[in-house]
Amino acid sequence: MTRFLPDVFRNPTVRVSMLAIFAFGFAGAATSPYQAVIAIRELGLSNGLYSALIFAAAAVNVTVSILLGNLADRLGEFRRLMLSVAVFGIFGYGAVYVFPAQATFVLSALLFLPIYNALNSLLFANVRATTNGMPRGDVATVNSGVRAMISLSWVLVPGFVGILLSRSTSMLPAYLFASLACLVCLCLIAAFLPRQSGTDNAATHHLSYLAALAEVISPRVFVRVIAVALISSTLHVNGAILPLIVTGPAHGTVGDIGILVGIVALLEVVFIVVWGRAQRIMSHVTALAIGTIIYVVYLLLLGFASAPWHVYALTLISGVGAAALISIPITYLQDLIAERPGLGSALISVNIFVSAGLSALLFAIGTGVSGYSGTAIIGAAAGLCGLFLLLFFDGDKRR
């Protein structure tokens, strides 16, 4: 273990991928907190159109991720595809800044940025192809380290952008920052990512795009994706209800929300690495089960929060559990189609899409039959259902 971290940094593919994933995370962290404000208040989109646009963009991203993942497996290399999709990010974010209009925003959100966001799964697929010869624990540690870079970007970037634009009348420059981050990502991949021949890494049996989709939705794979998505939905539920509980039942302020999110994001960076090391001594399923239980306990306690200090006291539990839920599923999902790194890594995007849809349903049910505190408890119950499914299918295996 003491030798491993230096080995990671000496591996050029892993090192460049970590820097590239930070730049990728920078673009999202610079714009996501302000996206709704820009779309609805500055550009005049209706609430209904914005909601439909976000859902459609997520569906496009899932489709593109599967198609590009399968194409990458057939080619046996990821570099050219990553360079191509990075260009979509440069133009997608840049167009909104240079030509701020509803049509530009819709085109960017529905076409350019969903294609660019497929870079996330391609980067993880490239790392997975590089680490195929490593022991299982090393693969998990590398994935955890790469994923930690996204969390690190969310620790640093939203506050940085907020400070820069605090006196600005528009938040549109956030899209300029994101476009520049995409350019940095493109340069990192083009200049420093080692070239791949492709012949040795290409999948032995080529799948058509319909066959690739069929493999993703096959019962063996999809039931496990649903199990992980139920677990991951707890993160989305928390993202929706935390601000409402803080400013409602907990009697906190808007300022508390930003501080709490920052604290948890910082803890995630630390504990993602810890969970990566933990997977050297336990299976992915066992580690994910422990992380799920921790996060379920957090959500249950959040449902009973009635003062600001209650929520602050829960940040440690939240950070430990969230770190497990955002890092461990990456390796688990990749292992479901281990022989095809591109298609296996596309399951990351599928999980994000399905878990977001489930969380929206849970939020609607929870707020319909109870309050925000009750929604936290319902979200925790969904996480337990996902855990039971996971243990039912894979609880007796050392993956």
Per the CB < 8 A criterion, the answer to whether 76 and 199 are in contact is: yes
pLDDT at residue 200 above 80? no
Check residues 134 and 233 and name the one with the higher pLDDT: 233
For residue 345, the tally of other CB atoms under 10 A from its CB is 31
Over residues 74-86, mean pLDDT:
92
Per the CB < 8 A criterion, the answer to whether 359 and 230 are in contact is: no
pLDDT at residue 273 above 90? no
Check residues 121 and 76 and name the one with the higher pLDDT: 121
Same fold flag, 1-203 and 207-399:
yes
pLDDT at residue 206 above 80? no
Per the CB < 8 A criterion, the answer to whether 269 and 392 are in contact is: no
pLDDT of the residue at 9: 53
Model confidence band, residue 167 (pLDDT cutoffs 50, 70, 90): confident
C-alpha 326/C-alpha 321 separation (Å) is: 9
Burial (CB count <10 Å: 0-12, 13-18, 19+), residue 341: buried
pLDDT at residue 224 above 90? yes
pLDDT of the residue at 243: 83
Of the candidates 347, 358, 331, 337, the one whose C-alpha atom is nearest the C-alpha of residue 127 is 331
Burial (CB count <10 Å: 0-12, 13-18, 19+), residue 76: middle
The model carries a pTM of 0.87
Sign of the alpha-carbon torsion through 21, 24, 26, 28: negative
Amino acid at 176: L
Over residues 201-211, mean pLDDT:
63
| Fold that domain 207-399 belongs to in CATH | Growth Hormone; Chain: A; (1.20.1250)
3-45 tens-digit pLDDT: 445 465 567 888 899 999 999 999 999 888 888 888 888 999 8
Model confidence band, residue 54 (pLDDT cutoffs 50, 70, 90): confident
| Fold that domain 1-203 belongs to in CATH | Growth Hormone; Chain: A; (1.20.1250)
Per the CB < 8 A criterion, the answer to whether 287 and 324 are in contact is: yes
Check residues 126 and 133 and name the one with the higher pLDDT: 126
Average pLDDT, the chain: 88
- Residues in CB range of 171: below 8 A, 6 or more apart: 34, 37, 38, 42, 165
Model confidence band, residue 201 (pLDDT cutoffs 50, 70, 90): low
- Residues in CB range of 315: below 8 A, 6 or more apart: 260, 263, 264, 267
C-alpha 277/C-alpha 272 separation (Å) is: 9
pLDDT at residue 311 above 80? yes
Q: Give whole-number Cα distances, 78 to 83, 187, 197, 201, 241, in Å.
A: 9, 15, 10, 10, 38
C-alpha 255/C-alpha 114 separation (Å) is: 31
C-alpha 135/C-alpha 289 separation (Å) is: 21
Would you kindly state where each structural domain of the chain is located, as residue ranges? Answer: 1-203, 207-399
For residue 283, the tally of other CB atoms under 10 A from its CB is 17
Q: Helix crossing, 47-75 with 79-98: angle to 10°? A: 160
Least confident of 48-52, 125-129, 228-232, 307-311: 48-52
Over residues 328-340, mean pLDDT:
90
pLDDT at residue 198 above 70? no
Amino acid at 378: I
The H or E element spanning position 295 is helix 284-302
pLDDT of the residue at 363: 87
pLDDT of the residue at 199: 47
C-alpha 116/C-alpha 88 separation (Å) is: 5
